[in-house]
Structures are given as structure tokens and as C-alpha cells.
């Protein structure tokens, strides 16, 4: 039977959860973190234009690095100052996927970048599948937030795209050590692909466990769904 202290702890936990939910719902979507996230979307447009024109590869690399760096900045500000919003939780991963997947797609037009069709298919396919899993699980109230493998995948993808962009710059492509840099670039690209596949497997296994918990918690609902 719960003691007075247990009941107090439960009440405090519920109150903190309600307060956090209320803050998320009441916070205006027009805040600094979301403005930074939207600026990343604009930077993505600039990046894609530069890649498509096939010039200023150094500038393209700088734009991509700045866009990737602000990913950590907006999240930190949102958590630090209680500016987390539902809009931000949806917008942030969406912009991340636009930048990374878009960069891979546009680099595919430049064979010298080291990016090939298999890489693009794996990266985009994984992102679409994991996003679908996240949508289903969060509709059921399950926590499907990013894991360490997902964050490592993002870091490797960013490093791979940056090296692919740099490899197209004449200052590097015409340098005596260009072949060695190309090897490094290819290693980073395939490492990013491997991390993409591995993190996808981790998310799938995690989703299977969460779906199992959901069925166990609602056996009556599952019985109605059977033919």
C-alpha cells in the first residue's frame, strides 16, 4: 500500500510532467530556437544552389558546416531557456533531413564527389523509415527520441558531406595529395553509410520492443483489431 511519501512523490512527478507539457503547449512557435532552425532551412537552399551551379566549393563547405553547427545551438537554447515547442520538435528533425539528404542528392550529380546512388538510397530510405516508425510510436504515446547511435550517424554524415564538398574544390582536387584526400573522403562516406544502416537497425529493434509493450498494455484493443 503506498505510503504518504510515495503518494507525495507521485503527485510531484505528475505535477512536473503537467508543467512541462503546459510549457511546451504555451510557448510561442515564433521564438529564437525555431528562428535558428528556419535559418538552417534557408542555408540549405543556398547550399543546394551552390552545389547545383558547380562553383565555390569552399563556400559550399562553409555554408554546410554553419548549418550543421546551428543544429546543436537551437536545441541547446530551447532546453536551456524552456523554449521547447511542438512546432520545434517537428521542424528541427525535418530540417536536419532536408540538409543532409538534399546534400547527398545534389552531390550525386558530381561523380568526383565520391557519392553514388547506393549511398543516396540508403540514407534517404533509412530516414523515411525511421520517421514513419517515430510517427506511429509517438501517436501511441511512446518515447522514440534520438539515441546515441542516431546522433553518431548524424555526425558522421555531416563529416562525410563536408569532405565530399571539399574534395571538389580546385585547391584540393589539384593538390599533390588529392588521391590521399579522396581515400579519406571515401572512408568517411562509407562510414556514414554503415552508421546509417546500423542506427536504422537499432531503431527498428527498439520499435519492435515498444510495439510489444503497447500490445501488452492494451490487450483488449489488440483483440478488436484481429480478424
Query: What string of DSSP letters covers the chain?
Result: ---HHHHHHHHHHHHHHHHHHHHHHHS-SSSHHHHHHHHHHHHHHHHHHHHHHT--HHHHHHHHHHHHHHHHHHHHHHHHTT---HHHHHHHHHHHHHHHHHHHHHHTT-GGG---HHHHHHHHHHHHHHHHHHHHHHHTT------HHHHHHHHHHHHHHHHHHHHTSHHHHTSTTHHHHHHHHHHHHHHHHHHHHHHHHHHHHHHHHHHHHHHHH-HHHHHHH--
pLDDT class for 6, splitting at 50, 70, 90?
Answer: very low
The mean pLDDT of 50-68, rounded to a whole number, is 94
Residue at 69 is within a domain: yes
Residue at 191 is within a domain: yes
Instruction: Report the chain's mean pLDDT, rounded to a whole number.
Output: 84
Q: Looking at residue 140, which CATH number applies to its domain?
A: 1.20.120.1760
Distance CA 83, CA 72 (A): 14
The mean pLDDT of 93-113, rounded to a whole number, is 95
Residue at 2 is within a domain: no
Residue at 169 is within a domain: yes
What pLDDT score was predicted for residue 23? 44
Distance CA 115, CA 119 (A): 7
Whether pLDDT at 204 is above 50: yes
Instruction: Look up the pTM and report it.
Output: 0.80
Residue at 4 is within a domain: no
What pLDDT score was predicted for residue 214? 65
Domain count, the chain: 1
User: Domain range holding 34?
Assistant: 18-225
Residue at 163 is within a domain: yes
What pLDDT score was predicted for residue 24? 45
State pLDDT tens for residues 12-36.
Answer: 443 444 444 444 444 677 889 999 9
Whether pLDDT at 143 is above 70: yes
Whether pLDDT at 7 is above 70: no
Distance CA 74, CA 76 (A): 5
Q: What is the DSSP string of 194-210?
A: HHHHHHHHHHHHHHHHH
Residue at 117 is within a domain: yes
The mean pLDDT of 39-68, rounded to a whole number, is 95
The separation between CA 60 and the C-alpha centre of its own chain, rounded to angstroms, equals 20
Amino acid at each position: 500500500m503506498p505510503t504518504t511519501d510515495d503518494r507525495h512523490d507521485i503527485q510531484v512527478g505528475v505535477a512536473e510532467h503537467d508543467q512541462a507539457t503546459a510549457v511546451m503547449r504555451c510557448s510561442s512557435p515564433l521564438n529564437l530556437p525555431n528562428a535558428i532552425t528556419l535559418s538552417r532551412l534557408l542555408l540549405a537552399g543556398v547550399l543546394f544552389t551552390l552545389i547545383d551551379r558547380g562553383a565555390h566549393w569552399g563556400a559550399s563547405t562553409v555554408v554546410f558546416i554553419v548549418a550543421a553547427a546551428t543544429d546543436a545551438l537551437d536545441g541547446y537554447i530551447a532546453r536551456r531557456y524552456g523554449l521547447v515547442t511542438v512546432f520545434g520538435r517537428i521542424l528541427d528533425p525535418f530540417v536536419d533531413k532536408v540538409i543532409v539528404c538534399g546534400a547527398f542528392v545534389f552531390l550525386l550529380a558530381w561523380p568526383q564527389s565520391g557519392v553514388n546512388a547506393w549511398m543516396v538510397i540508403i540514407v534517404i530510405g533509412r530516414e523515411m523509415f525511421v520517421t514513419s516508425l517515430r510517427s506511429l510510436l509517438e501517436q501511441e504515446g511512446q518515447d522514440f527520441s534520438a539515441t546515441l547511435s542516431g546522433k553518431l550517424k548524424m555526425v558522421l554524415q555531416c563529416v562525410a558531406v563536408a569532405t565530399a564538398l571539399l574534395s571538389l574544390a580546385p585547391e584540393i582536387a589539384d593538390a599533390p595529395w588529392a588521391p590521399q584526400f579522396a581515400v579519406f573522403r571515401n572512408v568517411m562516406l562509407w562510414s556514414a553509410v554503415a552508421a546509417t544502416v546500423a542506427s536504422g537497425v537499432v531503431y527498428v529493434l527498439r520499435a519492435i520492443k515498444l510495439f510489444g509493450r503497447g500490445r501488452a498494455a492494451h490487450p483488449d484493443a489488440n483483440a478488436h483489431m484481429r480478424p
